[in-house]
Structure 1
Amino acid sequence: MNSYMQEAVKHLNKYDSSSKSAQDAQKLLNALKDTYEVVGCRFRHYKGGLYKVIGEVIHTETEEKLVTYEDQDGVLWEGPKDTFFGKVIVDGKEIKRFTKIN
C-alpha cells in the first residue's frame, strides 16, 4: 500500500466505523485501491505510446471509475478504468491495452 493509501486508511480509522460516512468512505477506498497502487507508474500502450498514471476519478453523474494518465507531452487523458486495465485483440491474440513498465 502506498503512502497515499496509508494516509487515507489512517484518516478513515478516526471515524466510527458504523457511521454511514465511514462505510461510504471505506467502500470508495476499496474501489480505488488497485489503481492507487500504480499511481506514478509508467505504462506502454499496445500501440507504443508511454503514459504515467496520475490517479483515478469517479464520474459525478454515472459514478463510472476513470483512470487519469499523462502522455510524454504532458497532456492529460482520462478513460474508463475497465478499458485502461482491459485487453485488446491484436493479430488474433489477446494482449493488455496498457502494460506496466516500472
Structure 2
Amino acid sequence: MNLKMQEAVLHLNKYDSSSKSAQDAQKLLNALKDTYDVVGFQFRHYKGGLYKVIGEAIHTETEEKLVIYEDHDGVFWARPKEMFFGKVIIDGKEIKRFTKID
C-alpha cells in the first residue's frame, strides 16, 4: 500500500467504524487498493506492449473505475479496471490481458 493509501486508512480509523460514511469510505479504499498496489509497476500487454500503471480514476458519468497507464511514448491510456485486470482468449487459451513484470 502506498503512502497516500496508508494516510487515508489512518485518517479513516479516527472515525467510528459503525457509521455509514466510514463504512462507505472503507469500501472505496478496499476497491482502490488492488490498483494502488501496482502503481508504478510495468505490465506487458498480451500483444507485447509495455505499460506503466499510473493510477486509477473514476468515470464522471458512470462512476466506473478506470486504470490509467502510460506507454513508452508518454501517451496515457485508460481502460475499465475489470478489463485491465481481466483475461482474453487467444487460440482457445485464456490468458491475462496485462501481466505484471517483476
Alignment partner, residue 26 of structure 1 = 26
How far is the alpha carbon of 1:8 from its aligned partner?
Answer: 1.3
CA RMSD of aligned residues (A): 1.3
Runs of at least 4 residues off by over 6 Å: none
**2:43 is equivalent to residue 37 of structure 1:** no
C-alpha displacement of 1:35 = 0.8
Q: Tell me which residue corresponds to 2:64.
A: 64
Distance 1:2 1:18 in 2: 25
Displacement of 1:40 in angstroms is 0.7
**Would you say 1:95 and 2:95 are equivalent positions?**
yes
Determine the C-alpha separation between the residues in 2 that align with 1:73 and 1:7.
Answer: 32
Query: In structure 2, what is the Cα distance between the partners aligned to 1:92 and 1:52?
Result: 28
C-alpha distance in structure 2 between counterparts of 1:61 and 1:75, whole Å: 23
Identity among equivalent pairs (%): 84
Distance in 2 (alpha carbons) for counterparts of 1:16 and 1:61: 31
Gaps of 5+ in 1: none
Could you list the per-position Cα deviations for residues 21-50 of structure 1 after superposition, in whole angstroms to 9, with x for gaps in the alignment?
322211110111111111111000011111
TM-score normalised according to structure 1 size: 0.90
The residue aligned with 2:50 is 50
Equivalenced residues, count: 102
For residue 72 of structure 1, report the CA deviation from its aligned partner. 0.7
Q: Could you tell me which residue of structure 2 aligns to residue 17 of structure 1?
A: 17
State the alpha-carbon separation in 2 of the partners of residues 60 and 21 from structure 1: 20
Question: Secondary structure of 2:23's partner?
Answer: helix
SS at match of 1:16: coil
